[in-house]
Structure formats: structure tokens, C-alpha cells
Amino acid sequence: MSDGSSFYVTTPIFYVNDVPHIGHAYTEVAADVLARWHRQSGDDTWFLTGTDEHGQKILRTATANGMEPREWADRLVDSAWKPLLKTVDISNDDFIRTTDERHETAVTRFLQKLYDDGHVYAGEYEGYYCVGCEEYKQRDELDEPLSGEYQGQLVCKIHSRPVEILKEKNYFFRMSAFEGKLLDLYESQPDFVQPESVRNEIIQFVRQGLSDLSISRSSFDWGIKVPWDPTHVVYVWFDALLNYTTAVGYGTDQELFDRRWPAYHLVGKDIARFHAVIWPAMLMAAGVEVPHKVFGHGWLLVGGEKMSKSKLTGIAPSQITDTFGSDAFRYYFMRAISFGQDGSFSWEDLSARYQAELANGFGNLASRVIAMLQRYFDGEVPAAGDPGESDLHVQQTVAEATKDADAAMQRFAIHDALAAIWRVVDELNGYITEQEPWALAKDEGNRARLQTVLYTAAEGLRALAVLLSPVVPQATAKLWAALGASDALGELTAQPLRDAGRWGQLPAGIRVEALEALFPRIDQAAA
């Protein structure tokens, strides 16, 4: 992942049976931060997201709403899933729907190839199926409640709803043949599945032995037709996983595919198995390189449980952004939760961090420095004199934070990257408190020192704007404009991130403009 190399990042494609909640927005934001970071580092970046529209779950939801599945999917994509991207400021390069023709054509080609190469056979499937998960289940993945609505029935542990018993003639993918190769993959590429907790779980799962996978259904027809037997449709997960390749030219544009592939996949840990077991096995069978990485992030918990619509704990992203704004949404979830671990959401924590870190820590710093430049230098960034120890310390902090943040982003440790960048916020706040520019301003004899102090603060803000722009793009764009940096240095998003720590980029003599509060006080009643 050096400069100019390919960085292709994906989110799971979301089911259109329901509207998004903050758990879905969380994955989008994480992928977006990584994509913006890499784009701004000069990497050949591509960010894909989209929707998963086939299968029984969508079919049933559409039918229950008196609509055709395609019509239902169109409605949800336009009214809920695409708007989500605006709500949290997502900079995706493409949006794939599994009902797109480009996808359907390439899935058909992929499957035909597996069939021609002997990886698929006809058989009989008999077992449990959870429509909520769209997954075949083993007995140990089910509960038998002792009371309540489903007493005595077998229910899925994830959805707490009864599973169905399937007995169908299906086509099977010889996944069991890839057991050894998968174990070799996890061994030889230890960061293929991350974090470690998810990697260990996957290895344990595969070590217990893999069965073949039923990859077609014949009891309904909402799906992509199996090319050699149109009485079957492709199993929804087999269809869905392929989106990552069909969106970048698999089976249709080899040159594009070679440029983008392999990908970095961000997924919730609940669907890591599909991505780290079934998906690489499918690719191996087709002779396609496996992804660079499958990163299984944790869950957002509400009241200690995975937040979900089906359990009525879903919170709509706009409930947060309407009050706090999209930057605060992005910052909060990336900072408060170690990426890879579960995290509890609470309004109190969100409010507290908004006030302490964004409004007081960063926002105030920016407003104060700009206001002092206006007051003491008539809005012009002064030239700095020779730096003393404290000024050099600021420079060093900025350089180290840039290096540490980049290293953390390469590991997908977004929270660590933010913590590194925040050292600059804290350093600058401490520097201003110590240097007391307002006291220096009282004595003309301290003018040279005042110049150095305010240049140092302004240049520190320049670096902060660049480093934080992937996380809080709106606030940093305002700060960039107020610093007068656009004319002098060009667009904020064109500033090379890995160069952000190089001191002295902001030229003396540029004019700053008044800056409105980046993170205004929230009316407590609204929050």
C-alpha cells in the first residue's frame, strides 16, 4: 500500500427489506474514512457500496407490502439507502445493486465457469434455513425457547424467529475441497482475516470441517437464474458476494478488474464467515485471487444487545445527524469505538464527546486562533521568527502524529489514528494557554514573539485540517477556507495526507476570514 497503489474498499451490500439504522451507517463511515484517507494519500482508490436485493427475505417483505420485489427494491434504494449516503457524507465511487444487469451477467458467467470446471453438482438439501440470515443452519446454531410465542420451536439464535425446514433438490458447490487451501491461506497471510478474534473464530470453524454449500433454490424465483437449469435461482449469498468483483469488471472488463482487484472488505463480524470462508473458496475455484483482507468490525450495542430493527432497537442515522450534524456522527463512532470491537451507543456519551472534543477541543481552538489573527494582525498570517523549544515541540508533535495516524490507518485502526491526530489538538491548546498570546499582544516589544506563536498555531491548524478532513470533511473545509489556504495551497482534498506533517506549508501574508463555530452549542432540549 505505498503511494499510487490500488486501494479498493467495500462495504457489505445491504438488504433492502428495511430502512438503515446506525449500525449500517457505521460500516459506511468506516469505509468512507479509509477511502478518503487513501484517496488523499494519492492511492488509486475505489470505494464500492450497494444493495442486496434478491432472495426470500426481500421477496416476502415485498409481497407483504403488496408489491413486486423489483418495485419494492427500487423504492427502498431511492427512499432509504441512497439517501443514507448523503446523511453521513459518504464519498462512494460506485453503488451496485444485485439487480443491475452488469451484475447478473457476470454472476451467470462465474457460475457457468464453476459448473464447467466440475465444482458444482446436483444433490438434495435437507435441513434448517433462517430467512432472516438467509443462511442454512446447524442444530447448534438454534435455540428451543421454553416459553413465549415460539415455545417448543427451533429458532435462530440471531433473529429469535423460527427456522424453516427445507427439503429441496439443489445445486451444490464443492466447498469441502477447499478446506486445506483455506487453512493455508489463514496461516500464510495472517492479516487476511482481522481482527485476531475474528481470525481465530474462522480458523476454528474451518478446522471442524467444511461441508459443501447449497447454491441454488427452486421453491421461489426471485433471483438470478442458474444458467444450465432455469428452474433454479442462485442462492442469495452466492449472488451477493460476487458484487465485489462484478462491480469492477469481472467477466466484462478484464483490464479494469486487474486494476482494482483484490479488495479490502469491511464487514460486520456476524457475516465474517461468509466473507472469509465461502468467498475465498468461490474465488479459488474460479482461479481468481482472494481479497487482500476481510475486516470484521464489532457491533453497535444498545442496552448490551446488538442493535437491530427486528429487535426494535434500531436508531435512524438522521436522529443523530439532525441534531449533531454528519461530521459529529462520523467523528463520534470512529473515535469512541475501537474499530474491530463492539461498542455501546449512548446519547450521553455522544453529547459529552461532542462538547468536550469537537466543540471545546477542536472548534474553539480554530475560532480562537483565527480571531487572534484578526485582532492582532488585521487578518494576515504573520511570518514566524526562529523557533524556540516550545515551537519546535509543536512541529515535532505534528510530524509524529501524521506518521502515527497513517500507520494506524494502514492497520484499519481508525480510533488510534484519531487519537494520534488529537495529540495535535491537545498540544496546540496547551501551547496557546502557555504562550498567552493575549498577554504578548499588550507589549509592542513582544511583537516578534507574538508573530511566531500565531504562525505556529495557524500552521498547526493547517495540518489539522488536512489530517482530519477524511473524518470531518465539512468542518475542515470551513476551516481551510477561513485560513485562506485554498488560494495559497489549493483544494483541501488535494493536500497529500502523508505530507501533512511537513512544517511551514502555510505561507505568511495570506488573509484569514472569520470562522463561524465549527461545532455550535447544542440546545439541550433538542439533544
| CA-closest candidate to residue 194, choices 413, 22, 420 | 413
Quote the strand ranges of 282-426, DSSP E: 293-297, 300-302, 305-306, 343-344
How far apart (Å, rounded) are the C-alpha atoms in residues 285 and 173?
Answer: 9
User: Which neighbouring-strand residues pair with 135?
Assistant: 130
Q: Which of 306, 368, 447, 449 binds ligand MSP (CB under 6 A)?
A: 306
Shortest separation between residue 299's beta carbon and ligand MSP, angstroms: 4
Pick the catalytic residue: 133, 232, 265, 478?
133
Nearest to 512 by CA among 485, 473, 476, 478: 485
Judged on CB neighbours under 10 Å (0-12, 13-18, 19+), 305 is: exposed
Comparing every residue's Cβ against ligand MSP, the nearest one is: 268
14 versus 354: smaller Cβ distance to ligand MSP: 14
Q: Is 119 a catalytic residue?
A: no
C-alpha cell recorded at residue 85: 449516503
Query: Is residue 54 annotated as part of the catalytic site, yes or no?
Result: no
The residue among 235 and 331 lying less far from ligand MSP, judged by its C-beta, is 235
Catalytic residue among 24, 232, 269, 293: 24
Rounded to the nearest 5 degrees, what angle is found at the Cα of 236, between the Cα atoms of 233 and 237?
A: 135
For residue 93, what is its C-alpha cell? Answer: 465511487
Nearest to 375 by CA among 300, 463, 464, 442: 442
Contact in structure between 68 and 16 (CB atoms under 8 Å): no
Q: Which of 113, 306, 393, 403 is catalytic?
A: 306
Q: Is 306 an active-site residue?
A: yes
3-state secondary structure (DSSP) of residue 442: coil
Q: Pattern 239-268, binding to ligand MSP, x per CB under 6 A?
A: -xx-------------------------xx
Nearer to ligand MSP, 29 or 440 (CB): 29
CB 250 to ligand MSP: min, Å: 14
Residue 15: strand pairing partners:
52
Among the listed ranges 11-19, 65-73, 256-264, 357-365, the one in contact with ligand MSP (CB under 6 A) is: 11-19
Q: What 3 state SS string does 245-283 have?
A: HHCCCCCCCHHHHHHHCCCEEEEEHHHHHHHHHHHHHHH
Length in residues, the chain: 527
> Interface with ligand MSP includes 337 (CB under 6 A)?
no
Q: Of 159, 169, 225, 393, which residue is the catalytic one?
A: 159
In contact, 462 and 510? CB cutoff 8 Å: no
- Identify which of residues 125 and 279 has a Cβ nearer to ligand MSP in the complex: 279
Site size with ligand MSP, rule: CB under 6 A: 20
27 is a site residue for ligand MSP (CB under 6 A)? yes
Q: Are 171 and 216 in contact (CB under 8 A)?
A: yes
Please provide residue 47's backbone torsions phi and psi, each rounded to the nearest 5 degrees.
Answer: -125, 115
* Bridge partners for 8 per DSSP: 46
Dihedral over Cα of 217, 241, 345, 58: its sign: negative
Q: Distance (Å, rounded) from C-alpha 396 to C-alpha 386?
A: 15
Contact window for ligand MSP (CB under 6 A) among 77-85, 212-220, 300-308, 359-367: 300-308
311 catalytic residue (yes or no)? no
In the set 24, 54, 330, 353, which binds ligand MSP (CB under 6 A)? 24
For residue 287, what are the CA distances in angstroms to 113, 189, 290?
A: 10, 18, 9
The answer to whether 105 and 253 are in contact (CB under 8 A) is no
| 50 CB neighbour count, 10 Å cutoff | 25
Nearer to ligand MSP, 41 or 308 (CB): 308
| Residue 273 lies near ligand MSP (rule: CB under 6 A) | no
Selecting among 156, 292, 297, 415, the annotated active-site residue is 156
Measured from the CB atom, the residue of 239 and 327 that comes closer to ligand MSP is 239
- Grid cell for residue 267: 464487514
- Known catalytic residue at 24: yes
Interaction of residue 300 with ligand MSP, rule CB under 6 A: yes
Residue 358 touches ligand MSP, criterion: CB under 6 A: no
Question: Which of 7, 9, 12, 246 is close enough to bind ligand MSP by CB under 6 A?
Answer: 12
Cβ at position 335, least distance to ligand MSP in Å: 16
Whether 415 is a known active-site residue: answer no
In the complex, least distance from residue 244 CB atom to ligand MSP, rounded to whole angstroms? 7
Residues 239, 229: Cα–Cα separation, whole Å: 16
Q: Which is nearer to ligand MSP, 241 or 500 (CB)?
A: 241
- For ligand MSP, which is the closer residue by CB, 412 or 431? 412
Minimum Å distance from CB 102 to ligand MSP?
Answer: 16
Task: Please pick, from the candidates 23, 251, 437, 501, the single residue that binds ligand MSP as defined by CB under 6 A.
Answer: 23
Q: Is 21 a catalytic residue?
A: yes
Catalog residues that contact ligand MSP under the rule CB under 6 A.
12-15, 23-24, 26-27, 52, 240-241, 267-268, 270-271, 299-300, 306-308
User: Which residues participate in catalysis according to the annotation?
Assistant: 21, 24, 130, 133, 156, 159, 306, 309
